[in-house]
Amino acid sequence: MNRMSWFNAVSLTLGFAFLYIPMVILVIFSFNESKLVTVWAGFSTKWYGELLQNEAFLNAAWVTIKVAVFSSTMATVLGTIAAYVLVRGGRFMGRTLFSGMIYAPLVMPEVITGLSLLLLFIGIGLDRGVFTIVLAHTTFAMCYVSVVVSSRLVTFDRSLEEAALDLGCSPAEAFRLVTLPIIAPAVISGWLLAFTLSLDDLVIASFTSGPSATTLPIKIFSAVRLGVSPEINALSTIMISIVTVGVITASLVTKHQVARQKREEQAAERA
């Protein structure tokens, strides 16, 4: 193994320091005894205890999770259908226009998306609450799902679907029994992406939420405006650890699967 040159070592250290020092500081101060965020007064887990007593935060967390689950599920269904039609639908009128339009929300400033949705909800007289946030998140997460799924569909061997038709499937059966199981990993990562986007969205949610429903990012943001409390540090630390565990598990599972598949292929070639 080559030793790392000093230049590479320095670049690596600086880069990762830039990325992670803010988070490390946040985690450290979540264990601070003092109520003042910037003054260290010894180790304590009392803020975690207080967090569990804070009903407003717990409610907001529950709303956030509900919104994320519903909106990412709806976005996954709609996004997958859209991707399938755009990749497989053949050359119908305006296909190029449609594929361009599905990407547009990706580059649209969130403020504009949020504002336009707000105007729509007011226009049709929809009371703002959990339901409107779900709709709004579905709208913008759907195009992310569609991008992820269509990139998988482009490399999908079409003869697999033809084989399914040839063996007696109706087109719907071919999709359910062959296409969907094979593109499932892409659909799942689309869902995860939509879920994450919904979890940490502040801008669109603040346009479309009502007094009855507040998501966690909105709650944190408004709490911070009154001053950063160690409670928020504790909450953020919990979120960071959940994400970290998720990412590590996902990469371990993937690594394990890839290794197993490789072993099996080698075994098949030898046989």
27 binds other proteins (CB under 8 A): no
127 binds other proteins (CB under 8 A): no
254 binds other proteins (CB under 8 A): no
DSSP the chain: -PPPPHHHHHHHHHHHHHHHHHHHHHHHHHTBSSSSTTS---B--HHHHHHHH-HHHHHHHHHHHHHHHHHHHHHHHHHHHHHHHHHHS-S-TTHHHHHHHHHHHHHS-HHHHHHHHHHHHHHTTPPPSHHHHHHHHHHHHHHHHHHHHHHHHHTS-HHHHHHHHHTT--HHHHIIIIIHHHHHHHHHHHHHHHHHHHHH--HHHHHH--TT---HHHHHHHHHHT---HHHHHHHHHHHHHHHHHHHHHHHHHHHHHHHHHHHHHHHHH-
- According to CB under 8 A, which residues from 160 to 179 bind other proteins? 160, 162-170, 173, 177-178
Q: From the CB of 120, what's the least distance to other proteins, in Å? A: 41
Nearer CB in complex with other proteins: 3/270: 270
19 binds other proteins (CB under 8 A): no
269 binds other proteins (CB under 8 A): yes
Stretch near other proteins under the rule CB under 8 A, chosen from 27-35, 51-59, 60-68, 262-270:
262-270
126 binds other proteins (CB under 8 A): no
182 binds other proteins (CB under 8 A): yes
88 binds other proteins (CB under 8 A): no
Nearer CB in complex with other proteins: 45/261: 261
Stretch near other proteins under the rule CB under 8 A, chosen from 112-120, 155-163, 211-219, 228-236:
155-163
212 binds other proteins (CB under 8 A): no
Stretch near other proteins under the rule CB under 8 A, chosen from 51-59, 60-68, 154-162, 239-247:
154-162
Nearer CB in complex with other proteins: 171/246: 171
Nearer CB in complex with other proteins: 181/246: 181
d(CA 131, CA 134): 5
Token digits for 102? 């599905």
- Minimal CA–CA distance to 191: which of 125, 253, 142, 229? 142
Q: For binding to other proteins (CB under 8 A), which residues are involved?
A: 157, 159-160, 162-170, 173, 177-178, 181-182, 261, 264-265, 267-269, 271
